[in-house]
Amino acid sequence: MTTALITGATSGIGAAFARRLARDGHDVVLAARNADRLRAHAAELHDHHGVEASVLPVDLGTEDGIRALEERLADRRNPVDLLVNNAGFGTKGRYLEVPVADELTMLRVHCEAVLRATTAASEAMRERGRGGVVNVASVAAFVPNGTYSASKAWVVQFTQGAARNLAGTGVRLMVLCPGFVRTEFHERAGLDAKQVPGWLWLDAARVVDTALTDLARGREISVPDPRYKALTGLARVAPHRLLSRASQSSRKRFGPR
C-alpha cells in the first residue's frame, strides 16, 4: 500500500487530492492547521474507502510546523510515496497595502515550506528509487502581480529545475498551475469572487484528475483546462508592461487563484 501526504488537505484542491487518492486505494496523511477538520476528513476517508488516514496538524507559517512536516517526510519506516504541496493563501490589497509580516508568512508557506518539504521527500524517495511530488502553484505565476504571483513563479521555476536534476532517479516532480477553482481560497483572503466570469471557474476534482494524469505521463508542468493553457501561452509572449497593467486591473476585481 502506498502513502500520499497532502498539505492544505482540509478544503479545496487539497481535499480533492485526498479524496481521489484515497478512492484509488492510497493511505493518506492529511496536513493542515485545523486539527478538528483534519480528523473529521480523515474519518470520512477511512470510512468511505477503507484506507489508513492519519493527520498532521501543522502551521507551515512557523518553523515548528515546517520541521514537523520535514520529519514526517523523512521517516524511512513509514515512507511517503507521493507528496502534494498544496498549502497556500492569498491576501487582499496591493503592494504596501499588505503588512510586511503577512508577505513574509506567504513566502514561508509558498516557498520555504515547499523547498524544505520537497527536499525531505525527494531525498527519501531517491533512496528507494521511486516517488512523486506535486507542487501546487497557480496561473498567477505567469503574470507579474505582487508577492503572491512572485511566490508561485518561484514554485514553477524551482519544481521544473529540480525535476530535471532528478531525471533518471525514479523521482518525478511536477508543478500544477490551476486557474480559478471553487474553493474557500477567495473567501479566506477576503476577495470578491462573484465578479469572476463563470467560464473561468474550474472544478477541483477535475483539476486533480488532470494533475495525476499529467504526473503519470512524466510532465513537469500541468495547466488543467485548454482555456488556461491558452491564457498562460499568451502570458509568456505578451509584453510585461501590458501584463502588469492587466493583472493590476484583474486583482482589483478578482484577486489571485
Helices (H), 78-133: 100-107, 113-128
Residue 84 CA, chain-centre distance (Å), reads 7
Whether 148 is a known active-site residue: answer yes
Place of cell 491558452: 230
Name the DSSP letter for residue 182: S
Given the residues 17, 148, 158, 185, select the one marked as catalytic: 148
DSSP state of 78: S
- Give the 3-state DSSP-derived string for 35-76, with helices as H, strands as E and coil as C: HHHHHHHHHHHHHHHCCCEEEEECCCCCHHHHHHHHHHHCCC
Q: Are strands 3-7 and 201-202 parallel, antiparallel or unpaired?
A: unpaired
- Radius of gyration over every alpha carbon of the chain, rounded to an integer in angstroms: 17
Q: Are 40 and 18 in contact (CB under 8 A)?
A: no
* Positions marked active-site: 148
